[in-house]
Amino acid sequence: MTDPQTLATDTPSALARLMAGIAERHPHIAPGPVDDAPNPNEPGHPEYHRRRRADWALTRWQTATPPRYRHADATHPEVQAWADRVATDPDTAGNLLLTGTTGTGKTHQAYGALRRIAAAGPHVYEVRAITAADMYGLLRPKGSDRGAEEELRRLARVPLLLLDDLGSAKASEFTEEVTYRLVNERYNACRPTIYTSNLPARAASGGPDLTSALGERIVSRLSEDTTVVAMTGHDRRRRPAA
């Protein structure tokens, strides 16, 4: 039996002899370049596979996004940069905290960021979006068939989470406890999260802020490694004054 080593070293010389034979018999046939590398539209090319992942992720994004925000685009440069970091390396991207008064476009930028991550074609794309008020509802006794512990576990473990309108619900020991557990578990696991709030993280003048609404231990965790973007401008839900 021919051992594979001999065959491997023999092959090029056999091919060379064959080519030489063809050249001798058909001198007018010049060997052209052989290009069998896949192009971006063919399987095997990294760009082809990235596009397939992006299509799949964008479908998931659509499912997680309410109709009002299905055209949302992340237009804020810092939001875009954060989304790009998540797409490249979710473990080191940190969180995004969007603050600003009602109607300044926080939820729009948040869904826009999730869409931008999907469009980059990441290797993992699992996303959940929920308002803080709905989350508290879900986590109350009888709030869900799965049970509060299982719901909290799912929210804490989903690779990408949007927790919208934090600090708006009336604070209680219960809201503080579940918010702390969620923020703390995601913080420990370095899972990127988008938080939005009508309140600033810390008001300089001692006015209402996230720290007074949620407590220091929550805000210190959700603001570490966090890109804070303060949205400004008028309430987009109202027509601008003529």
Binding site for ligand ADP (CB under 6 A): 68, 75, 100, 102-108, 236-237
Cβ proximity to ligand ADP: between 131 and 144 the closer is 131
**Contacted entry of ligand ADP, Mg ion, none for residue 217, CB cut-off 5 to 8 Å set by kind:** none
Burial pattern 48-67, b for ≥16 Cβ within 10 A else e, equals eeeeebbeebeeebeebbee
Give the pair of three-digit tokens for residue 179.
């918010």
Phi and psi for 142 in degrees, rounded to 5? 65, 15
Asked if 197 is part of the footprint of Mg ion (rule: CB under 5 A), the reply reads no
Only segment of 15-23, 99-107, 197-205, 209-217 that touches Mg ion (CB under 5 A):
99-107
Residue span 137-156 as binding mask against Mg ion, x where in contact by CB under 5 A, dash where not: --------------------
Nearer to ligand ADP, 73 or 185 (CB): 73
Give residues 110-129 in contact with Mg ion (rule: CB under 5 A): none
Counting contacts by CB under 5 A, is residue 198 touching Mg ion? no
* Closer residue to Mg ion, CB minimum distance, 107 or 175: 107
Among 40-48, 83-91, 92-100, 106-114, which window interacts with Mg ion (CB under 5 A)?
106-114
Task: Provide, rounded to whole angstroms, the least separation between the CB of residue 166 and ligand ADP.
Answer: 12
104 binds, among Mg ion, ligand ADP, none (CB under 5 to 8 A by kind): ligand ADP
To Mg ion, the closest distance from the beta carbon of 196 in angstroms equals 6
Q: Which does 186 bind (CB under 5 to 8 A by kind): Mg ion, ligand ADP, none?
A: none
Identify which of residues 178 and 194 has a Cβ nearer to Mg ion in the complex: 194
Q: How many residues interact with Mg ion (rule CB under 5 A)?
A: 1
For the bound state, the minimum distance from the C-beta of residue 167 to ligand ADP, rounded and expressed in Å, comes to 13
Residue 107 near Mg ion by CB under 5 A? yes
Annotate 159-202 with three-state secondary structure: CEEEEECCCCCCCCHHHHHHHHHHHHHHHHCCCCEEEEECCCCC
Ranges of H-type helices in the chain: 4-25, 46-64, 77-88, 90-93, 106-119, 132-139, 148-157, 173-188, 210-214, 216-223
Q: Which is nearer to ligand ADP, 62 or 102 (CB)?
A: 102
Q: Which residue has the tokens 């790009």?
A: 84
The set of long-range contacts for 80-87, using a CB threshold of 8 Å and a minimum separation of 24, is 80/113, 80/116, 81/227, 82/113, 82/227, 83/112, 83/113, 83/114, 83/116, 83/117, 83/120, 84/116, 84/120, 86/113, 86/117, 86/122, 86/160, 86/192, 87/116, 87/117, 87/120, 87/121, 87/122
Q: Site residues (CB under 5 A) for Mg ion?
A: 107
